[in-house]
């Protein structure tokens, strides 16, 4: 078993066509048969955005320090949510990603290690559309600038962490069915422990370190910085990147270690 | 591994860990395996064999003998507990037809996806698609979701994909049994074509005809142990014998029952084989003798004896009786009567015998299921196996002009 990240990526790259097909199936299957079909990929984030704009903009009238540049609050919230939702959607579905395909594990010759990547791929598709809507909203409100192009790069630690946890949860999910119940609760808890609905600066001093070392908050804050045009804290981001890379490798290692027993357990 | 070897298996053992409760697996993991929460089940024990490239090997065995486990190990789906499996080339496995199909997608989409699973690019699948569609022969349904397919259409499409992806090694588990005769013939023809192209094939089947037709060599898997690879005919004979030996009397057979006035009664009824051994096993092509010892309490005549041969499904297969013959017999005390079927001629399986003695007016002794006996084939050539059907083996002669 190799822990070399290059080997792991080569393993994934070799199966890229298959992975692409699986993601396509996954995304299409969700909308197949629905009246609006794939339109929902656009519709659901738009509805979500409209609700946030109304609730936080009109009812709560929330104000953040970052709003000095004049960006509406709901756009700040939305940019953080894009990052978090990407993570949350992936992780919540991870425990069922292998368990849900027993025939792939037991009945056909299949590179099982790419199965946990399918929720991530599907989440990326949805995240991509969310991002397009963000760009359109920024352009519409006149806050679009070049810094936003860093957004996809800055989100990479989150993808790595999601990947590592996916492998981990997918493996556990095979043995423990309860994981499909536990993980969504865990994700909801994380949402409130990460600066999604509030800026990191609003956290009391005593709790700061917790947030400082939470890679989720680093990434969400960085992504938000690209939206407001503020400088990115590269040092903290780099640490988060390394932490998440290690998490991804460990997740892969755990998955490969336990996969021998998948066929027996399912 | 030598380059002319397709599959090499060395000292392969597979033990399943059986956990009584899903939580037990976690408990064991948390104690790092120091505490055992499982019992073990050895599905395969110390198996070694080699299959040369281009050979077709059949594996036969009873349900639960480990056939599927062995195939899953060959595919790399399961990991051996000990020993090694080396496979040289790309494997296409038909362990369950259409296992990777998604019912919501159309036949066409599933075909392409299955191709991707096998490592074929879109362009490679484009080149094969027409052949696959023609082989499956499902017409316009190819663009309908698989969930609306009939089961026949489903298996035809699944089989069509598996045999058109140019595998080096094809593993087939019991899937030839599906489909109608015409489709089965088509599958066999397609497999023969792959054989001529040098594909190595492993077939598991309960159908002796398929094994004999397709396989150069075969082996019997019995309780996790594999016999040596030998010509398919010999293996089929060995397997047939094994199945016959293991098969006990059917639980559905009528209970033994006895009634009558018993002025004359059967002391015992038994079966002798050709060499005059008392037995309950006889060969279909050898004589079989029914022997009854009777006791008459007083002098009597006008007694008839009747023996009914019944199959395990309680149908009377044949009746032998002394009508028109025994009326003149003067019975008093102990007598012995016997009847020889020459040859026995019954097809293999369990049978039982009813013995009936009656005088002109009274049933003296009716003994239902007085003795069970089993008919076996001696020469288990496939020729005989194919005739071992129905109720009895006909003897007669053909004429041709």
Cβ distance of A109 and B22 shorter than 8 Å: no
Largest pairwise CA distance in chain B: 94
Give the end of a domain, one of B195, B222, B246.
B246
> Ranked by mean pLDDT, which of A172-186, A187-201, B19-33 comes out on top?
A172-186
Dihedral class, residue B378 (left if φ above 0, else alpha if ψ from -120 to 50, else beta): alpha
Tokens at residue A1, please? 């078993």
Verify that B297 and B267 share a domain, yes or no: yes
Mean pLDDT, range B182-194, rounded to an integer: 84
Residue B316 makes CB contacts below 8 A (sequence gap 6+) with B308, B309, B310
Q: For the ranges A85-89, B175-179, B210-214, which has the lowest average pLDDT?
A: B175-179
Spatial separation of the C-alpha atoms in residues A68 and A76, rounded to whole Å: 12
Chain centroid offset of residue A26 CA: 16
Please report, for the domain that includes residue B291, its CATH number.
2.70.50.60
Verify that B319 and B342 share a domain, yes or no: yes
In the DSSP assignment, the letter for residue B154 is H
ipTM exceeds 0.90 = no
> What is the predicted pLDDT for the residue at B283?
84
Containing structural domain, residue A176: 5-265
Verify that B156 and B224 share a domain, yes or no: yes
Cβ distance of A264 and B16 shorter than 8 Å: yes
Q: Strand order in B38-52's β-sheet?
A: B38-52, B5-19, B82-87
Of B17, B93, B119, the CB nearest to A108: B93
Report phi then psi at B369, rounded to 5: 50, 60
pLDDT at residue A1 tops 70 = no
Verify that B183 and B134 share a domain, yes or no: yes
Cβ distance of B26 and A109 shorter than 8 Å: no
**Which of B80, B90, B117 best probes binding to A when mutated, by most A CB atoms within 10 angstroms?**
B117
| Per-window interface: B 149-188 vs A, CB < 8 A | none
Cβ distance of B91 and A109 shorter than 8 Å: yes
Q: For the ranges B16-25, B56-65, B142-151, which has the lowest average pLDDT?
A: B16-25
- B258-298 pLDDT, tens digit per residue, is 888 888 899 989 998 888 788 888 888 888 999 999 999 88
The domain tally of chain A equals 1
Which chain B residues are closer than 8 Å to A180 by Cβ? none
Report phi then psi at B324, rounded to 5: 80, 5
Tell how strand B200-204 and strand B169-173 pair up: parallel
DSSP state letters, B34-49: SS--EEEEEEEEEEEE
- Contact between A154 and A86 under an 8 Å Cβ cutoff? The reply is no
> What is the predicted pLDDT for the residue at A2?
62
Mean pLDDT, range A240-265, rounded to an integer: 86
- Contact between B156 and B110 under an 8 Å Cβ cutoff? The reply is no
Verify that B157 and B222 share a domain, yes or no: yes
Q: How many CB atoms lie within 10 A of CB A47?
A: 11
Verify that B177 and B268 share a domain, yes or no: no
Containing structural domain, residue B363: 257-387
Which chain A residues are closer than 8 Å to B76 by Cβ? 109
Answer yes or no: is B400 within a domain: no
- Contact between B93 and B171 under an 8 Å Cβ cutoff? The reply is yes
Spatial separation of the C-alpha atoms in residues A262 and A55, rounded to whole Å: 46
Closest CA to B17 of A175, A179, A96: A175
Cβ distance of B99 and A108 shorter than 8 Å: yes
The domain tally of chain B equals 2
Cβ distance of B16 and A104 shorter than 8 Å: no
Mean pLDDT of chain A: 83
Which chain A residues are closer than 8 Å to B99 by Cβ? 103-104, 107-108
Spatial separation of the C-alpha atoms in residues A155 and A238, rounded to whole Å: 12
Mean pLDDT, range B212-226, rounded to an integer: 84
State the angle between helix axes of A117-141 and A156-175 in degrees (0 to 180), rounded to the nearest 10. Answer: 150
- Contact between B61 and B207 under an 8 Å Cβ cutoff? The reply is no
Question: What is the three-class DSSP state of B303?
Answer: coil
Verify that B288 and B337 share a domain, yes or no: yes
pLDDT at residue B380 tops 70 = no
Verify that B242 and B261 share a domain, yes or no: no
Of B17, B100, B105, the CB nearest to A264: B17
Closest CA to A197 of A51, A80, A89, A87: A80
> What is the predicted pLDDT for the residue at B384?
65
Spatial separation of the C-alpha atoms in residues A196 and A138, rounded to whole Å: 18
Question: What Cα–Cα distance (Å) separates residue B43 from each residue in B47, B60, B68?
Answer: 11, 15, 10
Which chain B residues are closer than 8 Å to A104 by Cβ? 99-100
Give the end of a domain, one of B246, B272, B290.
B246
Q: What distance in Å separates residue A3's CA from the closest CA in chain B?
A: 20
Please report, for the domain that includes residue B187, its CATH number.
3.40.50.300
pLDDT at residue A68 tops 70 = no
Spatial separation of the C-alpha atoms in residues B159 and B154, rounded to whole Å: 9
Q: How many CB atoms lie within 10 A of CB B257?
A: 11
Spatial separation of the C-alpha atoms in residues A53 and B129, rounded to whole Å: 50
């Amino acid at each position: 078993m190799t822990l070399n990240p290059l080997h792991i990526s080569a393993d994934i790259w070799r199966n890229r066509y298959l992975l692409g097909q699986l993601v396509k199936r996954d995304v299409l299957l969700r909308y197949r048969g629905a009246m609006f079909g794939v339109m929902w990929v656009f519709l659901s984030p738009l509805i979500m955005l409209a609700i946030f704009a109304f609730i936080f903009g009109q009812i709560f009238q929330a104000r953040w320090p970052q709003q000095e540049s004049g960006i509406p609050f709901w756009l700040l919230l939305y940019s953080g949510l894009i990052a978090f939702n990407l993570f949350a959607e992936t992780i919540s579905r991870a425990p069922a990603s292998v368990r849900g395909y027993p025939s792939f594990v037991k009945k056909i010759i299949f590179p099982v290690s790419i199965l946990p990547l399918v929720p991530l791929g599907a989440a990326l598709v949805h995240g991509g559309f969310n991002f397009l809507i963000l760009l359109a909203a920024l352009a519409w409100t006149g806050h679009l600038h070049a810094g936003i192009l860093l957004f996809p790069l800055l989100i990479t630690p989150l993808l790595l962490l999601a990947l590592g946890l996916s492998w981990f949860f997918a493996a556990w999910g095979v043995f423990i069915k309860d994981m499909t119940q536990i993980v969504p609760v865990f994700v909801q808890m994380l949402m409130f422990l990460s600066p999604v609905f509030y800026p990191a600066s609003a956290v009391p001093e005593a709790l700061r370190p917790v947030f400082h070392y939470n890679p989720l908050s680093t990434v969400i804050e960085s992504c938000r910085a690209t939206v407001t045009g503020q400088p990115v804290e590269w040092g903290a981001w780099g640490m988060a990147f390394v932490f998440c890379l290690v998490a991804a490798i460990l997740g892969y290692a755990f998955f490969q270690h336990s996969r021998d027993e998948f066929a027996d357990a399912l | 591994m030598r380059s002319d070897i397709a599959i090499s298996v060395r000292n392969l053992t597979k033990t399943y860990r059986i956990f009584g409760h899903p939580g037990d697996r976690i408990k064991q993991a948390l104690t790092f395996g120091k505490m055992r929460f499982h019992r073990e089940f050895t599905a395969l024990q110390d198996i070694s064999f080699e299959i040369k490239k281009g050979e077709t090997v059949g594996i036969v065995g009873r349900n639960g003998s480990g056939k599927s486990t062995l195939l899953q190990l060959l595919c790399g789906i399961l990991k051996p507990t000990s020993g090694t499996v080396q496979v040289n080339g790309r494997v296409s496995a038909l362990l369950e037809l259409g296992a990777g199909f998604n019912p919501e997608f159309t036949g066409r989409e599933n075909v392409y996806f299955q191709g991707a699973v096998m490592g074929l690019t879109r362009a490679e699948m484009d080149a094969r698609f027409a052949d696959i569609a023609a082989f499956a022969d499902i017409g316009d349904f190819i663009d309908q979701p698989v969930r609306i397919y009939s089961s026949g259409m489903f298996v035809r499409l699944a089989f069509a994909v598996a045999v058109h992806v140019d595998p080096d090694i094809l593993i087939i588990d019991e899937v030839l049994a599906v489909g109608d005769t015409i489709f089965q013939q088509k599958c066999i023809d397609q497999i023969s074509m792959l054989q001529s192209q040098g594909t190595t094939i492993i077939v598991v089947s309960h159908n002796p005809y398929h094994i004999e037709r397709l396989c150069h060599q075969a082996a019997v898997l019995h309780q996790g142990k594999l016999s040596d690879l030998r010509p398919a005919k010999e293996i089929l004979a060995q397997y047939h014998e094994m199945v016959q030996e293991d098969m006990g009397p059917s639980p559905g057979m009528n209970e033994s029952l006895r009634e009558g006035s018993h002025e004359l009664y059967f002391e015992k009824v038994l079966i002798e084989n050709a060499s005059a051994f008392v037995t309950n096993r006889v060969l279909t092509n050898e004589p079989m003798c029914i022997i009854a010892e009777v006791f008459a309490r007083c002098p009597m005549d006008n007694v008839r004896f009747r023996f009914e041969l019944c199959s395990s499904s309680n149908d009377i297969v044949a009746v032998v009786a002394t009508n028109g013959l025994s009326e003149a017999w003067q019975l008093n005390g102990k007598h012995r009567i016997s009847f020889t079927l020459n040859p026995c001629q019954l097809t293999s399986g369990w049978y039982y015998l009813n013995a009936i003695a009656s005088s002109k007016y009274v049933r003296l002794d009716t003994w239902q299921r007085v003795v069970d006996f089993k008919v076996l084939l001696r020469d288990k050539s496939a020729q005989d196996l194919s005739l071992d059907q129905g109720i009895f083996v006909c003897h007669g002669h053909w004429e041709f002009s």
